[in-house]
Amino acid sequence: MRAIWKGSISFGLVNIPIALYPATMKEELKFRLLRKSDLSPVNYKRVAEKDGKEVPWDQIVKGYEYEKGKFVVLKEEDFERVDLEATQTVDIQDFVHVDEIDPMFFYKPYYLEPQKGGDKAYALLRDALKDSKKVGIAKVVIKTREYLAGVKPEDGALVLELMHFADELADTEKLHVPKKAEVGKREMNMAKSLIESMSAKWDPKKYHDEYREALMEVIEEKVEAGGKEIEEKPKPKRQPTKVIDLVSVLQQSLKETQGARKGSTTKRRTKHMQPEKEAA
């Protein structure tokens, strides 16, 4: 795995050389656009708006539109002129208790790996953050953008998790959500019972991208069928819950959930109780 960025973590007078690695992998199915008649791949061309002519890569520059139709060109040197030191530093500005930060602010994690000479300071920061339950709030420039980020311990490593700035989060006041709804005691108790009956220990391996798996099945079926159309299977339709029907829906949900849990437990017990087959 290659580092996507190298620099250092800075807080107070402490400086830790680090390398930045992606902490997540997104497996997306990639599709090509094809011409329908002969399935020839369709390519994109870089075409100038002014005359419709194709533009080679060596004639393309980056520009910022400061007024409608007016641009200023930015070269690589211009990006490098913007606080060169900051582009190589995860500059921790504050340490904040983890419980004070709304999870909505976090959105993309990266692993931080200490570089030569940084092991001791790296371990010190990691363990101090873990013991104090604090997150280092930092500014970091990656490529051509400055990010807000949290530095926090995770499974023996330090993680840099990119964060939204406050003005990037949409205001919930603009949503049409009920401020206060009249909920009956019976409904509330049943809702809590349903939540309790569906409660489980967090196991991330339990959850899969079912849409991707189902789509791969469709692709494999079409490959086996030589690209021919395959018969569509009927899909069960979910009926929306009616407000007047809420109690009965909660009751039915509880009944089904408890039945499913009981059936799963019985199945496991039966499996363990089955006598072993005699060796042939």
- 254 and 133 in one domain? no
Per-residue pLDDT at 127:
96
Q: What is the rounded distance in angstroms from the CA atom of residue 67 to the CA atom of residue 145?
A: 21
The model's confidence at residue 279, banded by pLDDT at 50, 70 and 90, is very low
Question: Position 116: which residue type?
Answer: K
For the ranges 61-65, 139-143, 204-208, the one whose mean pLDDT is highest: 61-65
228 part of a folded domain? no
Cα–Cα distance, 82 to 77 (Å, whole number) = 9
Burial of 84 per CB tally in 10 Å (0-12, 13-18, 19+): exposed
- The per-residue pLDDT for range 26-46, each reduced to its tens digit, is 777 888 888 889 889 998 889
> Per-residue confidence at 191, pLDDT binned at 50, 70, 90?
confident
Q: 25 phi and psi, to 5 degrees?
A: -130, 125
Separation between Cα atoms, residue 103 and residue 163, nearest integer Å: 9
Q: Note whether 130 and 12 are same-domain residues.
A: yes
Q: Mean of the per-residue pLDDT values for the chain?
A: 83
- Hey, which residues does 145 pair with through a beta bridge? 142
What pLDDT band is residue 165 in, cutting at 50, 70 and 90? very high
pLDDT at 172 over 90: no
Segment 225-235 mean pLDDT: 71
Q: Phi and psi dihedrals of 186, rounded to 5?
A: -65, -45
The answer to whether residues 108 and 20 belong to one domain is: yes
pLDDT tier for residue 280 given thresholds of 50, 70 and 90:
very low
Which residue from 174, 165, 150, 127 is spatially nearest to 9, judged by alpha carbons?
150
User: Of 46-55, 216-225, 256-265, which has the strongest mean pLDDT?
Assistant: 46-55
Cα–Cα distance between 138 and 101 in angstroms, integer?
14
* pTM (global) more than 0.85: no
Residue 149's pLDDT is what? 95
For position 186, what pLDDT does the model report? 83
Structural domain containing residue 134? 5-27+81-168
CB 9 within 8 Å of CB 115: no
Name the region of 133 (left: φ>0; alpha: ψ -120 to 50; beta: rest). left
Q: Which residue has the higher pLDDT, 34 or 276?
A: 34
pLDDT of residue 59: 93
φ, ψ dihedrals at 102, nearest 5°: -65, 125
pLDDT band at 135 (very low <50, low <70, confident <90, very high): very high
Backbone angles phi, psi at 5, to 5 degrees: -165, 140
Contact assessment for residue 44 and residue 33, using Cβ atoms and an 8 Å cutoff: no
Pairing mode of beta strands 70-74, 62-67: antiparallel
Tell me which residue of 224, 264, 18 sits closest to 136, measured CA to CA.
Answer: 18
The confidence score (pLDDT) of residue 239 equals: 61
| 119 and 255 belong to one structural domain | no
In a domain, 40, yes or no: no
pLDDT band at 85 (very low <50, low <70, confident <90, very high): low
The answer to whether residues 124 and 159 belong to one domain is yes
Instruction: Find residue 170's DSSP bridge partners.
Output: none
Q: What is the pLDDT of residue 253?
A: 81
Total domains in the fold of the chain: 2
Whether 234 is covered by a domain: the verdict is no
Same domain, residue pair 103 and 144: yes
Mean pLDDT, range 44-71, rounded to an integer: 92
Task: Check: CB of residue 147 under 8 Å from CB of residue 109.
Answer: no
Q: Is 87 part of a structural domain of the chain?
A: yes
Residues 146 and 256 in one domain: no
Residues 17, 108: one domain? Answer: yes
In whole angstroms, what is the distance from residue 239 CA to residue 235 CA?
13
Helix (H) or strand (E) holding 224: helix 210-224
Asked if residue 101 and residue 12 are part of one domain, the reply reads: yes
Cβ contact 172:114 at 8 Å: no
Q: Percent of the chain scored above 70 by pLDDT? A: 85
Residue 278, pLDDT score: 42
Same-domain status, 192 and 114: no
